[in-house]
Structure 1
């Protein structure tokens, strides 16, 4: 009986570890940190991009975030999935338009239905403007593309 429980525990731990590792491989990370070190909670509470501090850190399912305040870190800890960026922190427009992982400018963002969307914005190409022109269609396609992309091994 104890041997069966041990085998199940090892199997569960292995599957959980693989799921986290797979999650990390799909996220837009720089040195294992999401959103280029910006505070995910500040987008919602301050309605702007705020750089996090290396001293105020939290890791959720293998993805590390920096926070500008201890209060933001605590808010994140209570419900991390509500603050994480959509599509692993990759450009929402690119995910919807052609299903690709494209870098973002963390200061170009939109909160939609309580979710954080990030966008590429460089070289006179602000993809948030393009997203806004066809948001409903692009969001639907981005959701489908992200699901397909993350289900691949």
Structure 2
């Protein structure tokens, strides 16, 4: 399992670690309008899944804005941001920051995404910062579990992986 810290304190990640070459686990999350969303809703597209603990905090906001700004430049790639924030809070944040090139999805109800992708922080019931690129056949082609939750991911590596995925 990935070794992850939150403000330098070790945390326990719940679920199975996802690795390059794995079939992407399905998930059930909520859209900002409270509809259920799963991996199947994005069939046939490359997915860059950006996972953040809480969208309304500094690094998480920067990460979401960065991927929103890059989303239209990376071809047939759908960018998703998943957090434990309530859908209402996500919608309010998205509208305030004019985020229009990615989908924000909430895992608050069941922590299904967090458990299926091994990013649920047991001690905090938040998601560990991570990036997953899933190709159009739902195979994992890139994974980054950020070792310190308060640090930024490797944006360039994630974007390059998304551009190369088919």
TM, length-normalised to structure 1: 0.27
Task: Calculate the TM-score normalised by the size of structure 2.
Answer: 0.25
Rg (Cα) greater in structure: 1
**Higher RCO by CA contacts (8 Å cutoff, separation 6 or greater):** 2
Of Structure 1 and Structure 2, the greater helix share is in 1
